[in-house]
Each structure stands twice: as C-alpha cells, then as structure tokens.
C-alpha cells in the first residue's frame, strides 16, 4: 500500500517539476527569496520590483539579443538555507542560469558555496549568482568566488559612508551601537568601532551590545540603557520587526538624538514609525529617491506606482541589477555562456538612473556606487513609502563610496573553454 502512495506521489512530483522545464527561449532569472513565512513581505516586495524591472526596462523595450525576453521566476526559500539549495537545484533543472537572492546573508553563504561547487562539478550547467541585498562583507572577501556578484554595498562600505557623516557632525560626542546577535550585527559593530576610532578619535562608544535576533518581545530595557548612557546618536544594523521595535522603543523612552540605521524604511516600517520618527531616523542607502535621481527614474517610479499603488521601490539596486545584467548579455552576445557574461560584468561601468556611475570591481565583484544618507520625514517627499506621506529624503551623498576599500578576495577564474 505504501509503495502505491509513494509511486503516485512521486509521479505527481515529476509531472509538476517537469512541466515547467520545457521552454528555454527567453532568459530566465530565478528569484530565490522568502515568499512565505515571517520575512515574506520583504521577499514579495523584492519579487514585484524584479518583475517590474524586467517588464519595464527590458521586455517593453524590445528585449535583449534580438528580442529575447526576460522572465523572473519566483522560488520560495522560506528563508531557509536548506530550502534554498533545493530550489536552486529545481531552478538549474529548469534551465535557469541566473540566480538572484538577497534576504539573509546566511542563505547567501549557502547559495554561493553551493553554486561554486555546482559549477565546478557540472561545467555544462553553470549558473551566476547576482546578490542584490546580502551585505555580509565575507561574501566579497574570504568567501568570494567568480560566480558571485554583489549589487548592494556591503556592510563595511555602508559603515564607512555612515561614519564619514557622523565624523562631520561635531555635536556627536557619544555613540551607542546596538545590533542583532549574529554575523551581520557583529560586523556592523566591529566596523563602527574601528572606523569611528580612526575618523573621530574623540568620539566615545558609550555602549556596544547585541541582542538575540527575532526573539526580543519588548525593547524597553535596551532603550533605557541607551537613554541612561547619555549617547548623542545610535547606530544599528537591525532589520524587520527588530528594527521597528528597537526604534519605537528608543524614541518612546526619551532618547532625543539621531538614530542611524541600515534598514529602517519600507515594508510597513515607514508607516509604523510615522510622525514619531520624523527627522530622527536616518538611513544609509544607495539610490536617490527624494529628490529622485533622474527623469527616467521618475517615470519608472510612477509606472511602478500605477501597477502597485501600495508598493515601494525601496531597493532601487534591483533595477541596477537587471540593467547591468542585460548590458553584459548584450556585450557578451550570449545569455547561455555565463562565463562570458560574468567576464563582461567584471569591471563594467554603468550609469544608473538612480544617480551616479556604478563600477563592478573585478577583484572582488563588489559594486562600487554612490551612497546616500537619508532622513525619515514628510517634508519634500515626492515618493513616499507605505502610502504614509512619509519617506526618505537625501541629506548627504558620498560619491563612489569606498572605491578603494581593501579586499582579501583571491578571485579564481575558470579556464576559458
């Protein structure tokens, strides 16, 4: 009896997996990120931006390589490294050669390693990994490989830009650093400590602590310590519910200074902060939203809003990713030979519609771009987030941030075949 069930079940499996493997005319991009579970909102918003980028920037303009269209296929990895690896295999079997992922550096580590192994073991079906948001510096340092490209600035670059701005602000004497207790939170803390020491030796780090990730119900005790420490500014790498909880709690309990963050915008967070976070929350990000980088970007954003009135473009790098990938495919003259495409991406310079020139450093595959410090406000906001009237407005810009930042990457390039 059990055999029968097993047979039935598995034949259903092959049907479903096989059914979608037939077409290969268009260029497919596998989007492997959470579409269900606690981080699904970030993942779904990302998928919408990718789908829109491909439609608006590529397909509506005649496609690439004599009219081939692009298609983004969503794969739900439930933020689980295990599921990501399964979905990666499914994607490869469907003939997909481009993988995009961004949520969680843990998943990115699992993917980049698996892709490196896969490409070495299966030279016939190599794939590229376009990382649009995972910022752990290790991915472009000790754990770098030829197949991985990062389109977001890594945590060190962001901190470099952030500390530049803090260093210029003479009102800031004491800084409190707080983050989630895992690799990224620790990286933020380490970078902040060393860079502040270098740029403004007089600044004192009055608090430096980590809290359990995703487990804290009430941030009040942490907020008390921040207030008690007499800090003038707070730096945090928190994201998701931990960011909102921490930010709200700090403001509520009487902290008056600026809060420098990595991820305090979009996904309902801007609306939830609302008035209470005005002129308090600052954000380090790439891509200029208010004022917007170019007319082209304005048209794009308006078209996006027409399609997703409740949506936000909070990851403008997604559009850079698609733009640079299509340019590389055009230049390589092929979408099937990923080594050729990767070689084109290496060292590419690209004018972004969100402002500035982008440069893909060949030595570590880290994209160098302008970084902006933006403030959460409702003044001069053309494009708000979460339909709340609030959005992020640029305060300062660091051009080609950390262009020469050191890397420990020893890039191993495949033999030309």
Partner 1 sequence: MDLILVNLIDGLVTGLLLFMLSAGLTLIFSMMGVLNFAHASFYMLGAYFAYQISLALGFWMGLLIAPLIVGVMGAGVERYGLRRVHQYGHVPELIFTFGLALLIEELVQFIWGKNQMAYSVPDVLNFTAFAISGNSIPAYKIFMIFISIAIFIGLLYVLTKTRVGMIIQAALSYPRTVEALGHNVPLIFMGVFGVGTALAGVAGVIAGPVLGTFPGMAFVLGSIVFVTIVIGGLGSLWGALVASLLIGWITTFAKSYNIAMSDILNGIGIVTPTDLEDNIFRDLWTVTSPQIADILPYILMVLILIFRPYGLFGKRAA
Partner 2 sequence: MSQIEQAKNEPKGARPKEQITTDPSDAAQRMRAGSMIIPVTPWVIAAVLLVLMPFIFTDNSAITIMNQMSITIIFALAYNMLLGQGGMLSFGHAVYAGVGGFFCMHVMNWSDFFAGLPLPLLPLFGGLAGMSLALVVGSFSTRSAGTVFAMISLGIGELIAACSVIIVAFFGGEEGVSGNRTYAQPFFGVEFLQQIDVYYLIAFWLILSALLMYLFSRTPVGRMANAVRDNPERAEFLGYSARWVRYYSFVASGFFAGIAGGLFAINYEILTEENLNTASSGVILLVTFLGGVGFFFGPIIGAIAFTLLQTVLSLQTELWAFYAGVLFVATVMFFPGGLAGLLMMHVPVFRLGKARLLIIPYLKTLLPAAIGLLGLAGLVELVFHYRHAATGDNEMTVFWTTFDSHNILPWVVLIAIAGIGLGIAKKTAPSLLEAWNEATTPDGGTR
Nearest to 162 by CA among 117, 138, 137, 195: 195
CA distances to 48, 304, 317, 321, 344 from 308, in Å: 8, 6, 18, 20, 33
**What residue 241 binds from partner 1, partner 2, none (CB within 5 to 8 A, per partner kind)?**
partner 1
**What residue 391 binds from partner 2, partner 1, none (CB within 5 to 8 A, per partner kind)?**
none
Instruction: For the CB of residue 195, give the shortest distance to partner 2 in the complex, in Å.
Output: 22
Residue 211 found at the interface with partner 1 (CB under 8 A): yes
* Whole-number CA gyration radius for the chain: 22
d(CA 405, CA 195): 12
Nearest to 321 by CA among 296, 341, 299: 341
For partner 1, which stretch binds (CB under 8 A), given 36-44, 104-112, 393-401, 408-416? 36-44
Residue 47 found at the interface with partner 1 (CB under 8 A): no
**What residue 268 binds from partner 1, partner 2, none (CB within 5 to 8 A, per partner kind)?**
partner 1
Please count the residues of the chain: 417
Nearest to 375 by CA among 132, 152, 134, 162: 162
Which of 81, 95, 268, 414 is the binder for partner 1 (CB under 8 A)?
268
- DSSP labels for 291-303? TTS-HHHHHHHHH
Residue 228 found at the interface with partner 1 (CB under 8 A): yes
Q: Are 153 and 401 in contact (CB under 8 A)?
A: yes
**What residue 171 binds from partner 2, partner 1, none (CB within 5 to 8 A, per partner kind)?**
none
Instruction: For the CB of residue 351, give the shortest distance to partner 2 in the complex, in Å.
Output: 29
Q: Show the binding pattern over residues 381-400: x = contacts partner 1 (CB under 8 A), - = does not.
A: -----x-x------------
d(CA 331, CA 343): 10
Instruction: For the CB of residue 129, give the shortest distance to partner 1 in the complex, in Å.
Output: 26
For residue 396, the 8-state DSSP code is: E
- DSSP labels for 78-134? TT-HHHHHHHHHHHHHTT--EEEE-S-HHHHHHHHHHHHHHHHH-GGG--EEEESS-
For partner 1, which stretch binds (CB under 8 A), given 7-15, 150-158, 188-196, 237-245? 237-245
Residue 35 found at the interface with partner 2 (CB under 8 A): yes
Which of 26, 68, 69, 253 is the binder for partner 1 (CB under 8 A)?
253
- Which parts of this chain interact with partner 1 (CB under 8 A)? 38, 40-41, 44, 181, 209-212, 214-218, 220-222, 224-225, 227-228, 241, 244-245, 248, 252-254, 267-269, 271-272, 274, 386, 388
């Amino acid at each position: 009896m059990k055999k029968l069930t097993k047979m039935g079940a598995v034949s259903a499996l092959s049907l479903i997996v096989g059914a979608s493997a037939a077409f290969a005319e268009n260029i497919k991009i596998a989007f492997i990120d959470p579409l269900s579970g606690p981080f699904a909102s970030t993942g779904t918003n990302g998928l919408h931006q990718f789908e829109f980028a491909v439609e608006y920037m590529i397909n509506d303009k005649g496609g690439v390589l004599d009219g081939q269209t692009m298609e983004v296929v969503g794969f739900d990895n439930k933020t689980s490294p295990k599921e990501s690896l399964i979905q990666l295999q499914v994607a490869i079997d469907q003939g997909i050669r481009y993988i995009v992922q961004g949520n969680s550096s843990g998943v990115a580590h699992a993917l980049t390693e698996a892709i490196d192994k896969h490409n070495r073991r299966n030279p016939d079906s190599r794939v590229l990994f376009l990382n649009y948001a995972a910022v752990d510096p290790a991915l472009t340092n000790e754990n770098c490989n030829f197949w991985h490209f990062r389109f977001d600035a890594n945590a060190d670059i962001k901190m470099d830009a952030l500390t530049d701005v803090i260093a210029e602000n003479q009102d800031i004497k004491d800084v409190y650093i707080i983050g989630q207790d895992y690799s990224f939170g620790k990286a933020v803390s380490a970078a902040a400590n060393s860079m502040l020491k270098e740029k403004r030796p007089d600044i004192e780090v009055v608090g430096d602590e980590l809290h359990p990730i995703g487990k804290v119900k009430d941030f009040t005790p942490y907020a008390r310590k921040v207030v008690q420490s007499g800090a003038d500014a707070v730096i945090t790498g928190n994201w998701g519910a931990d960011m909102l909880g921490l930010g709200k709690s700090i403001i509520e309990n009487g902290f008056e200074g600026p809060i420098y963050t990595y991820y305090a915008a979009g996904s309902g967070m801007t609306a939830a902060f609302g008035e209470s976070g005005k002129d308090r929350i600052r954000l380090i990000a790439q891509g200029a939203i208010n004022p917007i980088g170019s007319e082209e970007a304005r048209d794009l954003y308006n078209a996006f809003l027409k399609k997703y009135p409740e949506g936000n473009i909070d990851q403008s790098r997604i559009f850079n990713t698609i733009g640079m990938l299509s340019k590389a495919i055009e230049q390589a003259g092929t979408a099937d030979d990923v080594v050729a495409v990767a070689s084109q991406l290496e060292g590419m310079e690209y004018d972004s519609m969100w402002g500035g020139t982008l440069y893909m450093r060949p030595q570590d595959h880290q994209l160098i771009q302008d970084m902006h410090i933006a403030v959460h406000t409702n003044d001069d906001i053309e494009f708000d987030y979460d339909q709340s009237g609030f959005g992020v407005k640029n305060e300062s810009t660091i051009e080609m941030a950390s262009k020469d930042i050191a890397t420990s990457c020893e890039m191993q390039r495949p033999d030309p075949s």
